[in-house]
Structure 1
């Protein structure tokens, strides 16, 4: 947004420099990106009056002009501008002048006629893109004056970069309100006079869509002169604010929008058939816009229509059929409040943006439509003449602005400074906010032009920025170190990271936002949690598994011809769970357990002369890594199925009889879909079981010898070894044996001759030792029978 300094200072004029003013605005949240002069640098250009114009004797398109610069004698200048005429005032660059682009003016001879300078167009002076003729200067300028001074071309223009929440600053008045609040000044508001109706004509307006339009005001003005010239002061302000002058009626509408932030529209009344209806468009309708584009409409776009056709895109742009032109004599001025949600994003659907849409989709004051109609009318009557009718005002519903409470102590805590409550109240008053003190809080009712004040933090921000970020005390950060004890019964996630690193895995850190396709392919936790405002389409849901991220990492490496890959990740997953409660680090209905996962592919060992041929990493390599992560953790493994893993090459990981994870080879379907050179081995487990550590317990050095016994048991082929192991672990802890079974090991598996179909023989070795006494054969036999009875619970029998 471009803000001419003189226009701003006409409303509020603090006694500070331009640079200081820009700094104030930037520190208050309205960032000033650039400070630039109205015109580029040039010198030696003066106001001149053309006294005589005659045809050049040797060129049809050139004229020889006598020009008065206030000196003793006029200058002779050869000019090729088509609009040069006797009596006009125009810029004249004298000999020695330097124009933009470092172009020097010298005395020259053009087609045999001497020229003592150059009459200039606006384009040649860098004032606009209009190079079709001389810049026609206002007649009230003094001949001979320096043009930069005469037109205030050294004035500065501030280019502001506003954040989307600062809709109240999208006008000169809005910026003036900020400057006045910072400097404790009063605002010189433009005078708005009520125009008494001279005629009784009104245009019937019906609003059929209250969810589109909350208020619609309008007025008929007859017998206007559409060809009246826009006053130079208005044209100057518009051009310096970045608006091209079009015609008086259009310029007035744009001027009020820039000055007060109120977009409006002026219709050619004689082109409106019947009354106007504000409604949602109907599918199949079209509209030719003022920019020449014809757009197809649907039910999601608001329009203003007459009895025969759509005439305007509500809050965005008017239609070509009712645009004012040179033949316009009667007009209808419209000012409305459009609900921001009804305007937001509509212009972008058609591939353009407008100043009106930019303001309406952020929120425009709904309380001032009639007031601004009066202001526009007074300008129209002043410049274009005419007779005005009464103002009609249709009100359906205005925004409800609930009061916002701000605690004084909370404000001081967030800002980090002891701002007195009386100063907070003064800041609210200077900002025009209706604030009431209630004990240790302020209750503020936001004004209708502030759509950004909704929560306590918004009010704290207002206090901070007007009080001044520059006033914040400079304090060095202070971190209070607290010695914390580390329980021997717990490991930290870093322990698992370090263990995986020692096993040759490299840590990956992936986003918790993932592609919804990954969850369909690899997830097991049901419907994932969708992100309301994803930063990218492939980050639309919260992950329920770490597998998708690691497969993506592996795919990236494979495409870069990196085949030996071992990676792991430790992080949270997000699972819907109605039992999850709300808390400081938890969200109701969402469980967030920590998981760790790993992926491995390539050679099991680096190539070497002592191991040929080289072997690819397999299920048992990764299983061994999982078991080696931490000491003294007992795991079981059972054949299982998982959507991400190969059927028949997948196992669930058991800990104390509970499934805590899965391990296996990636499913061939995903190997093919992701175009992988080979199937990697994956594992994913809950982190918690690996964080539980056993406290070391003193045990006397055994004084009795250990005894080994081998047992051969017969079980069905479907009986997993994990179930046998769980039984043996339970027996080892039973009171009957009380620690005599020190450890066990499976050393042989047999099936075939001597066994029935569907059976297998498992050879187990038990290490027995009693630290209190030497085991005799009778005691050993009793222990063996206890073990066999326990194994009978899973259908195991002693092999005969």
Structure 2
């Protein structure tokens, strides 16, 4: 909303400076987005009355003018403007005047003729781009008067960045009400009286869509002069509000819209037939608008029509077939209330907007419809002449404005400030609200122009605005805080993050809502949890796995030429589960996922480059689990390679998966190599394994290496589990250190070598005891797995 500051001050007298007024409005929620000066600074420019114009003797395009500059002083000025004429009142820059651009006027000779000043165009004063001729001033302007004061050039143009709920401030009246309420002054609005009916011409109106248009008013004014000039004061206010004057009749409707907030429309009454009615568009009905476009309208578009044709898109734009022209002599003025729901979005659907639709779709004062029509009628008769006909009105059910209860205790609880009931009554009184006391509470009926007052919290917001947000103290919260106990059998999440960061991983945070295709690919989830209102069409479902987000982050890094990526993420996943909690029907496990891609180590000279593989990430995972030791069992997962995937088992519980990305997805998502990933249940990782005391032996260990031939398909974990269950007491550690197939090993077999470390805490072991323990393990392997000792 753009408007003139001087126009606003004509409604509400306040001693606040322009900057103070801008700050006041901004802090009250009406952000002043821009402040522009009407004209740049200049000095010593007065009204000049041209008394005589003669041709310059030495130049064909110059004139020598005698100009009255006030106080009986006549100056000789050489002028080249084509429109200079005797009797004109024009701006005259006196010698010593400084014009925009630091242009100093001096007494000079022009082609041999002395010139004591300069007659100015609008461009030379910086108030318009028009440089075609001198700027004509009002005929009643007095010679010698200051032009800045005459044209109010010290005025400023303010632009408000209004939120959609404050449609009442899309007018000077609304803004003046706000300023009056904020400053405690009283606004003075132009008196609007019913226009005296002097003509008999009238046109009946009707409502065929009362829900969309519950009030429609009109009046015929005959004998108007459409060619009448728009008054200078009106044109000036329109220009400073961002509207260029067009013709007197159009300018009047625009002026009333800016002044009162009620959009109006003027039809050429001679081009109308029968009753004017508000109705919905018929199937495939067309309308040619004032902007020249011909639209085929949907049946949910509200129209203004007569007995033969559509005349206008209601509340949006008039039609070309009923438009007024400079030859119009009879006008039908329209003023109506259109329901916001009937106007909202219709103009944007067809690719344009208008000042009228901007207001109607946010809500216009339905009680001010007649007042705006009377104001426009008054201005038309005063400026264009004519005889005003009787008023025509069709009325249905207007919007209800139910009263709201405001509790004093609730105000204090929400704002954190104790307000006395009398203070609340005073603040609400500034807004001229219909307010009734009920003990310490209030019953407030919102006015017709405040569509944003619908609940108690809206009234509390008004109190905060008027009281001043700056005056509400900022109080720190007070609460009893105690150190939370950290159990020894749990690990804090920051510790896990630190371990992964120490191993070269970086934490990422991805959206919990993902593409449905990724849910299908990486989780084989055919029935994901869908969002009722997604922020984007491609982010329509909730994730049931972290893998999709990690792969997406990898793609983003690869597009930015990051060829080595190690990332992890912690977050919730969302699955359907009838026994789920805390939301019935849904389970929300908290998981940790990681991904490694590119080189196993950063590029360096000390070792050859090698791509990261399953075992690199497995080592990272084992470091994350320490001191606990997990088992890794062959498994399948929809996102991972079928032969390079393992289930992670901790304390007998499956807690997640680790493996390479499936080749199908490597190809689909255009990855240069297969990343390695893991995804684990975070709850299992947060459980700590308490340390247990074990006596450290002072005796030397006995070490033996044993190589066994076993079936190629025998899982090594099965062999290790068996040894762990049958180790004799001296054995302290049994570690696999080699696997071999090839020359010397029969087909279908593999050689596995173990290092056996034996030690006693009380004595040095004898060779016989060592040999017995080793033989016992070999015997177990031969019996349980048909193993053979490799020599």
> Normalising by the residue count of structure 1, what TM-score does the alignment of the two structures yield?
0.82
Q: Is 1:594 paired with 2:590? A: yes
CA contact (8 A) 1:64 1:78 kept: yes
Q: 1:631-651: per-residue Cα shift (whole Å, max 9, x none)?
A: 354645454444433343334
Q: 1:560-591: per-residue Cα shift (whole Å, max 9, x none)?
A: 44333211112233445565556xxxx66665
Q: 674, 680, 695: which is aligned to 1:679? A: 674
Shift of 1:333: 1.7
CA distance in 2, matches of 1:608, 1:234: 78
CA contact (8 A) 1:311 1:322 kept: yes
CA contact (8 A) 1:370 1:393 kept: no
CA contact (8 A) 2:641 2:662 kept: yes
CA contact (8 A) 1:65 1:79 kept: yes
CA distance in 2, matches of 1:685, 1:443: 57
CA contact (8 A) 2:288 2:320 kept: yes
Give the structure 1 partner of residue 389 of structure 2: 389
RMSD of aligned C-alpha atoms? 4.7
Question: SS of the counterpart of 1:221?
Answer: strand
Give the structure 2 partner of residue 156 of structure 1: 156
CA contact (8 A) 1:513 1:542 kept: yes
CA contact (8 A) 1:40 1:100 kept: yes
**Mean Cα deviation higher: 269-278 or 742-751:** 742-751
Give the structure 2 partner of residue 167 of structure 1: 167
Give the structure 1 partner of residue 766 of structure 2: none
Give the structure 2 partner of residue 329 of structure 1: 329
Question: SS of the counterpart of 2:137?
Answer: coil
CA contact (8 A) 2:203 2:276 kept: no
Question: SS of the counterpart of 2:325?
Answer: coil
CA contact (8 A) 2:709 2:749 kept: no
The 5 Å alignment of 1:349-498 reads 349-401=349-401, 403-436=403-436, 442-473=442-473, 482-498=482-498
Shift of 1:96: 2.9
Q: 656, 665, 677: which is aligned to 1:661? A: 656
Shift of 1:676: 2.0
Give the structure 1 partner of residue 687 of structure 2: 692
Give the structure 2 partner of residue 792 of structure 1: none
Give the structure 2 partner of residue 791 of structure 1: none
CA distance in 1, matches of 2:697, 2:455: 71
Shift of 1:326: 0.6
Shift of 1:693: 2.2
CA contact (8 A) 1:203 1:219 kept: no
CA contact (8 A) 2:591 2:680 kept: yes
CA distance in 1, matches of 2:413, 2:434: 23
Distance change in 2, residues 1:348/1:502 (3 Å): same
Shift of 1:156: 3.5
Distance change in 2, residues 1:524/1:627 (3 Å): farther
Question: SS of the counterpart of 2:611?
Answer: coil
Give the structure 2 partner of residue 500 of structure 1: 500
CA contact (8 A) 1:286 1:295 kept: yes
Give the structure 2 partner of residue 143 of structure 1: 143
CA distance in 1, matches of 2:249, 2:710: 100
Give the structure 2 partner of residue 39 of structure 1: 39
Distance change in 2, residues 1:662/1:81 (3 Å): same
Question: SS of the counterpart of 1:266?
Answer: strand
Give the structure 1 partner of residue 765 of structure 2: none
CA contact (8 A) 1:636 1:726 kept: no
Shift of 1:237: 2.2
The 5 Å alignment of 1:60-99 reads 62-99=62-99
Give the structure 2 partner of residue 527 of structure 1: 528
Q: 1:379-401: per-residue Cα shift (whole Å, max 9, x none)?
A: 22222222333433344554445
Shift of 1:260: 1.5
**Mean Cα deviation higher: 384-393 or 459-468:** 384-393
Distance change in 2, residues 1:422/1:144 (3 Å): same
Q: Is 1:645 paired with 2:640? A: yes
Q: Is 1:509 paired with 2:509? A: yes
Question: SS of the counterpart of 2:672?
Answer: coil
Give the structure 1 partner of residue 123 of structure 2: 123
The 5 Å alignment of 1:295-314 reads 297-299=297-299, 301-306=301-306, 309-314=309-314
Distance change in 2, residues 1:463/1:610 (3 Å): closer
Q: Is 1:603 paired with 2:604? A: no
Q: 603, 614, 622: which is aligned to 1:619? A: 614
CA contact (8 A) 1:512 1:542 kept: yes
Question: SS of the counterpart of 2:125?
Answer: coil
CA distance in 2, matches of 1:657, 1:153: 85
CA contact (8 A) 1:497 1:570 kept: no
CA contact (8 A) 2:205 2:218 kept: no
Distance change in 2, residues 1:610/1:180 (3 Å): closer
Distance change in 2, residues 1:799/1:393 (3 Å): farther
CA distance in 2, matches of 1:689, 1:404: 53
Q: 1:764-783: per-residue Cα shift (whole Å, max 9, x none)?
A: 99999999xxxx9xxx9xx9
> Normalising by the residue count of structure 2, what TM-score does the alignment of the two structures yield?
0.83
CA distance in 1, matches of 2:61, 2:46: 24
Question: SS of the counterpart of 1:242?
Answer: coil
CA contact (8 A) 1:637 1:652 kept: yes
Give the structure 1 partner of residue 251 of structure 2: 251
CA contact (8 A) 2:488 2:688 kept: yes
Shift of 1:714: 10
Distance change in 2, residues 1:131/1:748 (3 Å): closer
Distance change in 2, residues 1:347/1:696 (3 Å): same
CA distance in 2, matches of 1:669, 1:300: 49
Question: SS of the counterpart of 1:138?
Answer: coil
Question: SS of the counterpart of 1:389?
Answer: strand
Distance change in 2, residues 1:578/1:157 (3 Å): farther
CA contact (8 A) 2:203 2:274 kept: no
Shift of 1:537: 6.4
CA contact (8 A) 1:225 1:329 kept: yes
CA contact (8 A) 1:558 1:677 kept: no
Shift of 1:681: 0.7
CA distance in 1, matches of 2:48, 2:14: 35
Structure 2: where are the runs of 5+ without partners?
Answer: 762-768
Distance change in 2, residues 1:100/1:559 (3 Å): same
CA contact (8 A) 1:761 1:799 kept: no
